Amino acid sequence: MQERKLVAVDMDGTFLNDAMDYDRPRFAKLHEQMVNAGVRFVVASGNQYFQLRSFFTQYPDTIYLSENGALIRDDEQVYFKAAYDRDTALAVIDVLESYPAVSWTACGYESAYVLKTAGADYITDVNKYYHRLQLIDNPGDINDEILKFSTHCPASETADYVAEYARRLQGLAEPTSSGHGDIDIIQPGMNKAKGLKELARVLGVRQADVIAFGNGGNDIEMLQYAGDGVAVANADPDVLKAADHVAPSNNDSGVLAYVEQLVGAVTD
């Protein structure tokens, strides 16, 4: 059976409000309507699958496009997975280790990994986003497939670090920023758009029937790929410019409001 539409939502600053939650009763009603209308719900985020899943445990049909598209799965199956080879992963770590002001997390298939010597505040923050996290003595302790890296630098220097990473990691990896000092180091060509395109192919959904929502720089390719790319009102200026439409802000449940209208159109 082909899905009639895919709705893909970024989480932080898009689907989630500033309290890191969403209107759960409203979504429960909408989810039932989406199922009846043949609309598949996809969570598209740079975050870890295990963390994303914690928001939707009562909805086993949810698909998680996690780690910026490097891992796509639901509770039952893996649709797509792309990992660095080990030598490349270690080469990326060598570059990241050369910047004293940078903290980094290696995001693996089984777990995420942070050096024990990382600052306590950084480790506490990482724990919020990586529900499976291991502290390691050195990078050689990692025995896992690495899907991407998450890094943090001084917020005011984000653009400088993006440029520096792009220069030093050329051919190995690519930086993408979600703002405020947070920069993901992804595999070349790997982003939410590529993952969403692969998922649509597997599920037999036309590009025109993909609706994507975002607010940050790592959402732009996904919004441009989708048949309908929607920015929430609080999105970065570049994201608003790239979008086909603008929904109310994350704190006004803009995604839910937009999808409610969509489902009404589908079921008419």
**Is 10 among the residues known to form the active site?**
yes
Which residues sit opposite 150 in a β-bridge? 105, 184
Three-state secondary structure string covering the chain = CCCCEEEEECHHHHHCCCCCCCCHHHHHHHHHHHHHHCEEEEEECCCCHHHHHCCCCCCCCCEEEEHHHCEEECCCCEEEECCCCHHHHHHHHHHHHCCCCCEEEEEECCCEEEECCCCHHHHHHHHHHCCCEEEECCHHHCCCCEEEEEEECCHHHHHHHHHHHHHHCCCCCEEEEEECCEEEEECCCCCHHHHHHHHHHHHCCCHHHEEEEECCHHHHHHHHHCCEEEEECCCCHHHHHHCCEEECCHHHCHHHHHHHHHHHHHHC
From 10, 12, 144, 219, the catalytic residue: 10
User: Measured between alpha carbons, how far is 116 from 221 in angstroms, rounded to an integer?
Assistant: 35
Return the bridge partners of 185, or none. 149, 175
Q: List residues with catalytic annotation.
A: 10
